[in-house]
Structure 1
Amino acid sequence: MHKKTTNDNVPARGSATDHWMKSVAYERQYRDAAAHPGARPRDPGLNDRTEPRAKIPFTALVNYGLTYSAPWRVRDLSPNGAFVEMSTTDIPQGAFVEFVLRFAYKGRNVEHRLPAKVVRVEPNGVALGFGAYDDAAYTDIVNLLYAA
């Protein structure tokens, strides 16, 4: 039987590699600020897309608090979050919500309840950043994105 061993050369998550990536983002922010004096500083990571994102016409439920639950139109979706076109008067930035994603894929009905945080509020909707969720949800979201 083969004995499993670990490789000490592979950096752990949250290690020097992650630190380097954050350093590059902050360095880019200061470089951009120097090149364009008077411009608003860029939030590192705000528009740096690392996952596939697609405009998919469907509705999703956004649950907020104990009484607020309504279906809203999703403008775009990625494994990291979504932009939902909705009334923004009731949900403040920083609020924790539940994003209920329902769709049919290859003859089966799919439903996932994803924890999310309101990361940006705009006049026509909110940007949600997803919290941790399982591998099955990730696979279903990616399949939906590539099927679109």
Structure 2
Amino acid sequence: MLLKLKKKAKLSKNVKTIGLPEGKTSANMKCAVAGWGWTTAHDCPSNVLKEATENIEATSNCENIWQQYFNSDHMICTNFTKRSGGVCRGDSGGPLICKNKLQGVTAYTSPEDCTDLSYPHVFTKVRFFIPWIKETMKK
């Protein structure tokens, strides 16, 4: 879903715009994620917005691990560390921001344990949808 505001948002130090991606992401690129989701596999949602750093994972690794559930045309995946954390249940729809551009939207993690390092986190690739975004915004 894409929402278009009826009028321009009032920008401030807390409300800013973010650019759409212009180029491809590359493996090991550092990105920020944020959300109010679970902070471990078995606790409850956070009552404050959390932020973590994740790194873009090689597409081939994502395809090998997620197999038919991963489509590199419209998905990106990331790796993370136990120390830095990352996305979990409740974070779906949150941002993946790399070099101040919105590269992805949180999609899914391992259903059993979002902290399992052997399962990269998966995001919808915003770049794939730019033609649709531009066409929709014209209407």
Q: Same fold (TM over 0.5)?
A: no
- Normalising by the smaller structure, the TM-score range is 0.3 to 0.5
Instruction: Give the alignment's TM-score, normalised by structure 2.
Output: 0.39
* Richer in strand (by share): 1
- Compare the two structures and name the one with the higher helix fraction: 1
Greater RCO, CA 8 A, separation 6+: 2
Q: Which has the larger radius of gyration?
A: 1
Q: What TM-score do the two structures reach when normalised by structure 1?
A: 0.37
